[in-house]
Amino acid sequence: MADETDLGARTRRLSHIPATLDHYKSRLLPEQRLYKFSDSLLGYISDFLCWDKVYQRFGATTSKVSLNKFGGEILVEALSRAMFGNRIFEVELDLVQKMLNSNDDAWMLIFQYPLT
């Protein structure tokens, strides 16, 4: 039997959600890592909510913006930068849109849809 402290062995036995939670716990604990991540994440969110950034992203030609699009873009970009740094956006320029597209369909993994 695999050692329970081996994250890889434990992850192979879990479904998607518990495996993801285990991965986050391993990366964000002990607390010093969590605090550093949290400060970084909140800093990115704060930066993105400045009017200049909102104007740059959504422009002046629209008076309405989908809250789903607005919140989704800000959270995905802030989380990506906090977790992986800015370098990931040099490697994948369209990361935010690709993540949003993936998130739209992620429920299918959870519910194992379509059924075969």
Residues in the chain: 116
Nearest-angstrom CA–CA distance, 25 and 16: 14
How far apart are alpha carbons 24 and 46 in whole angstroms? 23
d(CA 70, CA 13): 36
Query: Is the pLDDT confidence value at 93 over 50?
Result: yes
What are the tens digits of pLDDT across the range 10-23? Answer: 555 656 677 777 77
Closest CA to 96 of 82, 77, 81: 77
**pLDDT tens string 94-106:** 999 999 988 888 7
Decide if pLDDT at 42 tops 90.
yes
> Which residues make Cβ contacts (< 8 Å) with residue 37, sequence separation at least 6?
27, 28, 82, 83
SS3 6: coil
Contact 11, 24 (CB under 8 A): no
In the predicted model, what is the mean pLDDT of the chain? Answer: 80
> What's the pTM value of the predicted model, to 2 decimals?
0.67
